[in-house]
Chain A
């Protein structure tokens, strides 16, 4: 199980809702960071993801390594959560 999960979202992002729903379904806890409320974090998210899009999900594993999943991408998100 991951140590920590953070999802970067915006107010109008339907795919962000889907990531949250998927994590809820898995019974995993996560933190949501809304970039509409914290636009100053956009550059940081861009550096992490390399993409100008949300959702961006950052999964911190038990060994403190991080995996960044861009978009609502279940084939990448599911293994990242394992």
Chain B
């Protein structure tokens, strides 16, 4: 007979939503294990500086914030496994997770895998990956001391990371496809302080990344107003053009995704599958903010506690006004 180790809760991911949930469930003595294939803290950990997370009046480095969240969850007993969940299989009441560290079973699962930076999908992008094309400024920016850079994107990440990269680069050409930035007003004001180093090119697409002898030398784009090709000579390219959800492992699991691949849930953050919950950036409709993610993590933890209790005591008897029936 197969020996099954059954955990109360497996959390897939260890970003802000996951760590908040783990903090709550561990404090409730719910046996909680997290699986993380990338960086603990997720995208928050690779963000240079976080100014909009409450409780830190002067802001906090993303890496430091992530480490504090990790330490807080671990303090109450959450276990973080460094490994990847490759498949989720529903086996009646139990959930089987096939991971790089072996199979694990859980009574409840929280999907908190977040999202990752999207590629542009242009010639040269894959060819020069990590040799001139990058998606993590805090990891790779230091290689561009006194060099020229191109940043692709016009949202919060592109703005924030461009500002960070001014620590190293002599000049940054920011290529923005639209006619305005989609970044927050605060970041736009910050960008205004760096006009000596950052030039923003609106209505400019990124069409090709070119190089010579294994090194990036230029980016070819199109000025959509003049309808003509433009060339930006550069030593490297950092890409921040949006986010894609980490949900490939859910194929065939029965968990419902929206048209962009994010996980659908009900108002209690439960997916279509009983006992499988979702929180944070990977959830369909998420606001992609660290503060929202931690809030959702806490909410999911409370819903999971209710769910686990319902497994022991049976379904809830009657809906209570103002306290909706959680599980039908």
Instruction: Spell out A's residues near B (CB within 8 Å).
Output: 10, 12-18, 21-22, 25, 35-36, 39, 42, 46, 50-54, 70-72, 74-75
B38 at the binding interface (Cβ < 8 Å): yes
Given A10-B139, A12-B48: A72 touches B236 (CB 8 Å cut-off) = no
A42: chain B residues at CB < 8 Å are 142-143, 145
CB distance from A56 to the nearest CB of B (A): 11
B45 at the binding interface (Cβ < 8 Å): yes
Are the C-beta atoms of B130 and A51 separated by less than 8 Å?
yes
B46 at the binding interface (Cβ < 8 Å): yes
B138: chain A residues at CB < 8 Å are 10, 12-14
Given contacts A12-B48, A12-B139, A15-B136, could you give 19 more A-B pairs where the C-beta distance is less than 8 Å? A12-B61, A12-B141, A14-B62, A14-B63, A14-B138, A14-B139, A15-B39, A22-B82, A35-B142, A39-B142, A52-B143, A52-B144, A53-B130, A53-B134, A53-B143, A54-B139, A72-B39, A74-B82, A75-B100
CB distance from A54 to the nearest CB of B (A): 6
Are the C-beta atoms of A53 and B140 separated by less than 8 Å?
yes
Range, interface on chain B: 20 to 34
B236: chain A residues at CB < 8 Å are 52
Complex alpha-carbon distance, A52 and B140, angstroms = 7
Given A39-B142, A54-B139: A14 touches B41 (CB 8 Å cut-off) = yes
Interface residue ranges of B120-165 to A (CB < 8 Å)? 130-132, 134, 136, 138-145
B61: chain A residues at CB < 8 Å are 12
